[in-house]
Structure 1
Amino acid sequence: MKRVHFILHRTYCTATSVNSSFQISRLSKTGQINEARKIFDSLRFKAIGTWNSIVSGYFANGMAREARLMFDEMPERNIVSWNGLVSGYIKNRMIEEARNAFEMMPERNVVSWTAMVKGYVQEGMVAEAESLFWRMPEKNEVSWTVMFSGFIDDGRVDDARRLYDMMPVKDVVASTNMIGGLCKEGRVDEARRIFDEMRDRNVITWTTMITGYGQNHRVDVARKLFEVMPEKTEVSWTSMLLGYTLSGRIEDAEQFFEAMPIKPVIACNAMIVGFGEQGEMDKARRVFDQMKERDNATWRGMIKAYERKGFELESLDLFGEMQRHGVRPSFPSLISILSVCGTLASLEYGRQVHAHLVRCHFDVDVYVASVLMTMYVKCGELEKAKLVFDRFPSKDVIMWNSIISGYASHGLGKEALKVFNEMPSSGTMPNKVTIIAILTACSYAGKVEEGLEIFQSMESRFCVTPMVEHYSCTVDMLGRAGRIDEAMKLIESMSVKPDATVWGSLLGACKTHSRLDIAEVAAKKLFEIEPENAGPYVLLSSINASRAKWGDVAELRKNMRTKNVNKFPGCSWIEIDKKVHSFTRGGIRNHPEEAMISMMLEKIDGLLREAGYSPDCSNVLHDVDEEEKVDNLRCHSERLAVAYGLLKLPEGVPIRVIKNLRVCRDCHAAIKLISKVTEREIILRDANRFHHFKNGECSCRDYW
Structure 2
Amino acid sequence: MLLHRRRRPKPNPLLRKSPPTPARISPPPTDRRSSPAEAPRALNRRRPPLEPAAYAALLRAASRARSLPLGKLTHSHMLRAGYRPGLFLRNNLLAVYCRCGDMRHARLLFDGMPRRDAVTWNTLIAGYSSSSGGGGSTGGGATTRLALAAFRDARRDGVAVDRFTYAAVLAACGGAGDGRHGRAAHGMVVASGLAETAFLTNSVIDMYAKCGMIDEVRLVFDRAEERDEASWNLLLSAYVRMGWPEVAVHVLVWMHRSGVKLDSFALGGILKACSELEGSEDVRRMLHGCVVKVGLDLDMFVGSAMVDMYAKNGGLEEAIKVFDCIPNQNVVVYSAMIAGFARLGNDPCPEIRIEAIRLFSNLLRMRIKPSRFTFKSVLEVCNLTNALHCGRQIHAHVIFNGFQEDEFIANVLINLYSKARSVNDSLRCFHMTPKQDVFTWTSMITAFADNENFEKSLDLFIELLNVGNEPDQFTLSNVMNACAALSIPVTCKQIHCYTVKSGLDQFTVCGNSQIAMYRSMGDLKASKKTFEQITCLDTLSWSTMVLSYAVHGHENEALLLLQKMKDCRVGINDIAFLAVLIACSQLGLADEGFRHYDSMKSEHGCAPNSKHKASVVDLLCRVGKIAEAEDFILRSGSENDPILWHALLRACRIHGDKERGIKTGEKLMELEPFAARSYVVLYNLYMDAGKISLAMRTRGLMRERGMSKETGISWAEFGGSIHCFADGDNSCLQNTAVHTRLEELLIRVKQKTERGGTDIWELGFQSRKVGKNSLGRHGELLGVALGLSTFPSSAPVTVMKNQRISWESHETLKLLSEGENREIIVRDLTHFHHFNQGSCSCRDYW
TM-score class, shorter-chain normalisation, is: 0.7 to 0.9
Give aligned pairs, total: 671
Aligned match of 1:67: 185
Q: For residues 504 and 639 of structure 1, do their structure 2 counterparts lie closer, same or farther at Cα, with a shift above 3 Å needed?
A: same
Q: For residues 72 and 596 of structure 1, do their structure 2 counterparts lie closer, same or farther at Cα, with a shift above 3 Å needed?
A: farther
Q: For residues 411 and 91 of structure 1, do their structure 2 counterparts lie closer, same or farther at Cα, with a shift above 3 Å needed?
A: closer
Distance across 1 between alignment mates of 2:211 and 2:785:
62
Q: Tell whether the 8 Å contact from 1:654 to 1:683 is kept in structure 2 after alignment.
A: yes
Q: Does 1:350 align with 2:513?
A: no
Q: Tell whether the 8 Å contact from 1:195 to 1:209 is kept in structure 2 after alignment.
A: no
Aligned match of 2:357: 219
Q: Tell whether the 8 Å contact from 2:506 to 2:535 is kept in structure 1 after alignment.
A: no
1:74 alignment partner AA = S
**Aligned-partner SS, 1:656:** strand
Aligned match of 1:39: 153
Kindly state the Cα deviation for residue 276 of structure 1 after the two structures are TM-superposed: 0.4
**Aligned-partner SS, 1:327:** coil
Q: 227-236 or 661-670, which moves further after superposition?
A: 227-236
**Aligned-partner SS, 1:375:** helix
- Deviations, residues 379-421 of structure 1 (Å, cap 9, x unaligned): 1111112223445699777655544443443334565566678
Larger RCO (CA under 8 A, 6+ residues apart): 1
Kindly state the Cα deviation for residue 81 of structure 1 after the two structures are TM-superposed: 1.7
Q: For residues 476 and 248 of structure 1, do their structure 2 counterparts lie closer, same or farther at Cα, with a shift above 3 Å needed?
A: same
Q: Does 1:131 align with 2:245?
A: no
Distance across 2 between alignment mates of 1:352 and 1:182:
46
Q: Tell whether the 8 Å contact from 1:570 to 1:584 is kept in structure 2 after alignment.
A: yes
1:133 alignment partner AA = M
Q: Does 1:497 align with 2:635?
A: yes
Distance across 1 between alignment mates of 2:272 and 2:550:
53
- Deviations, residues 71-107 of structure 1 (Å, cap 9, x unaligned): 2211444332222122223223334433332333333
Distance across 2 between alignment mates of 1:464 and 1:83:
52
Distance across 2 between alignment mates of 1:323 and 1:474:
46
User: Unaligned stretches of 5+ in structure 1?
Assistant: 1-7, 479-485, 589-593, 619-624
1:71 alignment partner AA = V
Q: For residues 429 and 490 of structure 1, do their structure 2 counterparts lie closer, same or farther at Cα, with a shift above 3 Å needed?
A: farther
2:184 alignment partner AA = E
Q: For residues 238 and 400 of structure 1, do their structure 2 counterparts lie closer, same or farther at Cα, with a shift above 3 Å needed?
A: closer
| TM-score after normalising by structure 1 | 0.77
Q: Does 1:375 align with 2:489?
A: no
Matches within 5 A, 1:263-282: 263-264=404-405, 265-282=407-424
Question: Which one of 285, 301, 310 corresponds to residue 452 of structure 2?
Answer: 310
Aligned match of 1:23: 124
Question: Which one of 617, 620, 623 corresponds to residue 475 of structure 1?
Answer: 620
Q: 159-168 or 381-390, which moves further after superposition?
A: 159-168
Q: For residues 253 and 196 of structure 1, do their structure 2 counterparts lie closer, same or farther at Cα, with a shift above 3 Å needed?
A: same
- Deviations, residues 8-65 of structure 1 (Å, cap 9, x unaligned): 9xx9999532322333444553324353453254242332233343344444422243
Distance across 1 between alignment mates of 2:511 and 2:239:
37
User: Unaligned stretches of 5+ in structure 2?
Assistant: 1-87, 92-112, 133-139, 344-352, 751-759
Q: For residues 88 and 574 of structure 1, do their structure 2 counterparts lie closer, same or farther at Cα, with a shift above 3 Å needed?
A: same
Q: Tell whether the 8 Å contact from 2:739 to 2:771 is kept in structure 1 after alignment.
A: no
Aligned match of 1:519: 661
Q: Tell whether the 8 Å contact from 1:307 to 1:340 is kept in structure 2 after alignment.
A: yes
Matches within 5 A, 1:161-200: 161-167=288-294, 173-174=301-302, 176-178=304-306, 180-181=308-309, 185-186=315-316, 189-190=320-321, 192-194=323-325, 196-197=327-328
1:229 alignment partner AA = R
Aligned match of 1:102: 221
Aligned match of 2:755: none
Distance across 2 between alignment mates of 1:85 and 1:295:
33
**Aligned-partner SS, 1:106:** coil
Q: Does 1:118 align with 2:237?
A: yes
Aligned match of 1:257: 395
Q: Tell whether the 8 Å contact from 1:17 to 1:47 is kept in structure 2 after alignment.
A: yes
**Aligned-partner SS, 1:44:** coil
Q: For residues 548 and 464 of structure 1, do their structure 2 counterparts lie closer, same or farther at Cα, with a shift above 3 Å needed?
A: farther
Kindly state the Cα deviation for residue 219 of structure 1 after the two structures are TM-superposed: 1.2
Aligned match of 2:482: 340
Q: Tell whether the 8 Å contact from 1:660 to 1:687 is kept in structure 2 after alignment.
A: yes
Q: 677-686 or 256-265, which moves further after superposition?
A: 677-686
**Aligned-partner SS, 1:326:** coil
- Deviations, residues 529-554 of structure 1 (Å, cap 9, x unaligned): 66665545433433454677644432
Q: For residues 151 and 402 of structure 1, do their structure 2 counterparts lie closer, same or farther at Cα, with a shift above 3 Å needed?
A: closer
**Aligned-partner SS, 2:117:** helix
1:44 alignment partner AA = G
Q: 522-531 or 41-50, which moves further after superposition?
A: 522-531
Distance across 2 between alignment mates of 1:383 and 1:656:
14
Matches within 5 A, 1:221-620: 221-229=359-367, 231=369, 241-242=379-380, 244-258=382-396, 260-261=399-400, 262=402, 263-264=404-405, 265-358=407-500, 363=505, 369-391=511-533, 401-413=543-555, 437=579, 440-441=582-583, 444=586, 447-448=587-588, 451-452=589-590, 454-455=592-593, 468-469=613-614, 471-478=616-623, 486-488=624-626, 490-491=628-629, 497=635, 504-512=646-654, 514-523=656-665, 526=668, 534-545=676-687, 550-560=692-702, 569-575=711-717, 585=727, 595-604=732-741, 607=744, 614=761, 616=763
Question: Which one of 825, 835, 846 corresponds to residue 683 of structure 1?
Answer: 825
Kindly state the Cα deviation for residue 250 of structure 1 after the two structures are TM-superposed: 1.9
Matched-pair identity in %: 22
Q: For residues 239 and 647 of structure 1, do their structure 2 counterparts lie closer, same or farther at Cα, with a shift above 3 Å needed?
A: farther
2:412 alignment partner AA = A
Q: Tell whether the 8 Å contact from 1:121 to 1:150 is kept in structure 2 after alignment.
A: yes
Distance across 2 between alignment mates of 1:280 and 1:662:
30
Q: Tell whether the 8 Å contact from 2:736 to 2:770 is kept in structure 1 after alignment.
A: no
**Aligned-partner SS, 1:691:** strand
What RMSD in Å do the two structures reach over aligned CA positions? 4.9
| TM-score after normalising by structure 2 | 0.66
